[in-house]
Structure 1
């Protein structure tokens, strides 16, 4: 059994200015969510994927539909973790400070965050349980942050696959069980 993780195509909306307020950051998030994507050729590793799961977010849906020509199962459980600002709406800070603060707040389950790490991991495990129960080659189209947690869980469950810190857009990362390679 093989599982292919793929991050959605690159989003055309670039990052905001280097110094932004929380309000400006959230406006950028809205623009990012609505942005078009830059399609690229995707190497599916010569595998005939038997099923495909995708995040229900637009950028993942566009990616999934362009690389998989059969029915796709769209799941909210695969959606990117939402950004929840930590600082007052008008306070301007470097973008990396906002993102670092949000990441740390999320990691430590700060009440400012819309969803806890525990809830995200529960959703990811639910999807992986479902995919593994199919016992066939499955492609999963998602988002970078979610993919990092999926990778960790797949490795924990005996799959092998490549390491990545920030997965590239439109690239399949192949995972398979050690005893099922070949």
Structure 2
């Protein structure tokens, strides 16, 4: 059984228009990012016959899955990106890249501003993989988001799969895990 992980294609509005943003502007941009269109690219599926395809139900992942897979795509919220929330509500402006770093750090230390804890994300991934692997399909393609792919990789390795290292998943690239 092969599991293929693919990060969605590049998002068209990948960065805010302004470099310096306050929490409200950041929140608005994060919402817009979730609705942004993608730059359709190419994914080498390595001539593997993928029997099933699962996708995050966020549009950027759905559109990527539709572009690379012919057949039914099973969309699920279990593959959604880890939602980011501004950790400060004071009206201060910071560079959006600094916000991104602070938000990820806040998430990693389980700051109360971040509603999806590491524990909840890991549980969500484990439940999803339990369902997929229980079906014993031959080859399964999963289109999701960067951070989730890193956690899925760790879980697949724990379950005896072999596959490549994923430090920063590339948009549209296939990462194959085999048992």
TM-score tier by shorter-chain length is over 0.9
Cross-structure match for 1:11: 11
User: Match of 1:5, SS?
Assistant: strand
CA positional deviation for 1:168: 0.7
Cross-structure match for 2:110: 109
Equivalents in 1 of 2:110, 2:85: separation in Å?
12
Cross-structure match for 2:144: 142
Give ranges in structure 1 of 5+ residues lacking alignment.
Answer: 178-182
What TM-score, normalized to structure 1?
0.93
Equivalents in 2 of 1:24, 1:94: separation in Å?
11
User: Match of 1:160, SS?
Assistant: coil
CA positional deviation for 1:96: 2.8
Give ranges in structure 2 of 5+ residues lacking alignment.
Answer: none
User: Is the Cα–Cα contact under 8 Å of residues 23 and 89 in structure 1 kept in the other structure?
Assistant: no
Query: What RMSD in Å do the two structures reach over aligned CA positions?
Result: 1.2
CA positional deviation for 1:19: 2.1
Matching of residues 46-85 of structure 1 within 5 Å: 46-85=47-86
Cross-structure match for 2:27: 26
Number of corresponding residues:
177
**CA displacement, residues 58-95 of structure 1 (integer Å, 9 cap, x when unaligned):** 01011111111111111101000111111125211122
Equivalents in 1 of 2:6, 2:114: separation in Å?
26
Equivalents in 1 of 2:67, 2:73: separation in Å?
11
Q: Which of 171, 174, 179 is the matching residue for 1:172?
A: 174
Equivalents in 2 of 1:157, 1:112: separation in Å?
32
Cross-structure match for 1:180: none
CA positional deviation for 1:34: 1.6
User: Is the Cα–Cα contact under 8 Å of residues 6 and 170 in structure 1 kept in the other structure?
Assistant: yes
CA positional deviation for 1:14: 2.8
**CA displacement, residues 96-142 of structure 1 (integer Å, 9 cap, x when unaligned):** 32112211221121111121111110000011111211222100000
Equivalents in 2 of 1:164, 1:148: separation in Å?
6
CA positional deviation for 1:143: 0.4
What TM-score, normalized to structure 2?
0.94
Q: Does 1:90 align with 2:91?
A: yes
